[in-house]
Amino acid sequence: MQEKLNKAQTAFNQWRFLAFEDKQKLIARASEILKNRAEDLGKIITKEMNKPISQAIAEVQKCALMMDYYAIAENSLKPEKIASEYSLSEVHFVPKGVILGVMPWNFPFWQVLRFATPTLLSGNTAVLKHASICFESGRAIENILLEAGFPEGVFQNLEIGHNEVRQILESPIIKGVSLTGSEKAGAEVAALAGRNIKKSLLELGGSDAFIILDDADLNKASQTGAWARLQNCGQTCVAAKRFIIQENVYAGFLDLLVSEFKKYQPGNPLNKDTLFSGMARADLADELENQYKKALEHGAEVILPLERISDTAFKPSLIAVERANPILQEELFGPVGIVLRAKDDNEALDLANDIPYGLSNSVWTANLERADFYIKNLESGTVNINRMTSSDPRFPFGGTKLSGYGTELSLLALKEFVTAKTVIIQ
């Protein structure tokens, strides 16, 4: 491991000075490789964590689109001139060095490349600690970047366990860490980074609200809502986890949503027609089942039961809960949707904000003035109107509260792991 860290540091000493445009050419080449091999790479994802092959291929293709964005992006790291009485006053953006990425299993390619692409383009080098079930994805990503022409050491996959993360973070070679994962993992890594005075970026969990108002297009909202909850078997931080429905359309929308949920039945993930398959691991399915039982013990009403049909597969579930149910303070990472009833806009907003997370929310209304009320008052990193949450390389992605801090994607991500150096000449 130390040898790889040394290699990353040696690579940084040269990589940092490579022209921004030359780095972009390498990113463009890597994108082409992803496009050409999307199906084969998708099979790696499916084999590792059960994602339906069509969604796995789409994940690889989305990575390519993201890399295409950065391959032609404006160089926002050029020195910025500051008007002053001095003969020269500028801000230079200097890469920090070797950055550690700690990445999860639910999007084995997307999460890694979403972190790595702007980090490398900023002039840093990176080492990856991937989820233990996704080591093959990590190897594939490293090989793709090497094949595209990235120098050895610029990006390296470390096949290590969680216990070794502490040792890596404490190394003086590591200058920052980006983690996508659970609140618990984020707190541990951030605390360790803080003790060592190192920059951290955290993209953590969410319990996103999907708010249905009485002037919404109920058909479109129910179709989109089911997909927003059940894609990737519900194992998505920005999934629509809480359906907050205005009471005068509650029954009508719920009937539509139940009908849509029933269309998602577990299938063979290697079949291209499959939209919904099993969870990534049996222990994750156990955890979801325990949370479901906890919700029922505290009064949740079963709308669609959580039926387990194998070690990892369920039929999707819907439960209705009251505000006091403690399950609302947790993230359900799997195919269970929560339904709540709201009298009006104020109660819907209050329910949406009354959780420890703040990643993204979706509001369905035909009235843009009503929408503006939510845009101004929802406590989240993203607000979507009449659409589900989906990350886009053009727009900043990140959360607030226990959903983490820092920005991924967009040009803002280029400045996450740089130092703003002030330069003044008298």
Q: Is the dihedral of CA 21, 23, 24, 29 positive or negative?
A: positive
What pLDDT, on a 0 to 100 scale, did the predictor assign at position 295?
98
Alpha helices in 18-160 (DSSP H): 20-36, 38-49, 53-71, 110-121, 135-148
In tens, the pLDDT along 282-340 reads 999 999 999 999 999 999 999 999 999 999 999 999 999 999 999 999 999 999 999 99
What single letter denotes the amino acid at residue 207?
A: S
DSSP 91-129: EEEEE-SEEEEE--SSSTTHHHHHHHHHHHHTT-EEEEE
Distance CA 244, CA 237 (A): 18
Yes or no: say if 100 and 129 are a contact pair by the CB < 8 Å rule. Answer: yes
76 pLDDT higher than 90: yes
In tens, the pLDDT along 163-188 reads 899 999 999 999 999 999 999 999 99
In tens, the pLDDT along 242-269 reads 999 999 999 999 999 999 999 999 999 9
Name the token pair of 135.
């080591």
In tens, the pLDDT along 199-242 reads 999 999 999 999 999 999 999 999 999 999 999 999 999 999 99
What pLDDT, on a 0 to 100 scale, did the predictor assign at position 421?
98
β-pairing verdict for 317-320 and 301-304: antiparallel
Distance CA 127, CA 8 (A): 7
Name the token pair of 147.
């094949």
Q: Is 237 a catalytic residue?
A: yes
What pLDDT, on a 0 to 100 scale, did the predictor assign at position 31?
98
1 pLDDT higher than 90: no
What pLDDT, on a 0 to 100 scale, did the predictor assign at position 162?
83
Global pTM value: 0.97
What CATH class has 1-204+403-425? alpha beta
Task: List the domain boundaries for the chain.
Answer: 1-204+403-425, 209-385
What pLDDT, on a 0 to 100 scale, did the predictor assign at position 163?
86
How many C-beta neighbours within 10 Å does residue 49 have? 28
Alpha-carbon dihedral angle through residues 57, 60, 62, 64, given to the nearest 10 degrees: -130
Helices (H) and strands (E) in the chain, counts: 13, 20
Mean per-residue pLDDT of the chain: 98
In sequence order, the 6+-apart residues with CB closer than 8 A to the CB of 376 are none
Instruction: Give the SS3 label for residue 416.
Output: coil
| Catalytic residue (choose from 237, 260, 331, 416) | 237
Q: Is 32 a catalytic residue?
A: no
Residue that wins the pLDDT comparison between 1 and 61: 61
Yes or no: say if 261 and 215 are a contact pair by the CB < 8 Å rule. Answer: no
In tens, the pLDDT along 354-388 reads 999 999 999 999 999 999 999 999 999 999 999 99
Yes or no: say if 396 and 69 are a contact pair by the CB < 8 Å rule. Answer: no
Determine the topology of domain 209-385 in CATH.
Aldehyde Dehydrogenase; Chain A, domain 2 (3.40.309)
| Catalytic residue (choose from 48, 142, 203, 260) | 203
Sheet holding 240-246, edge to edge: 301-304, 317-320, 336-342, 240-246, 208-212, 360-364, 382-385
What pLDDT, on a 0 to 100 scale, did the predictor assign at position 167?
95
Distance CA 238, CA 187 (A): 19
Q: What is the mean pLDDT of residues 37-53?
A: 98
Instruction: Please tell me the total number of residues recorded for the chain in this structure.
Output: 426
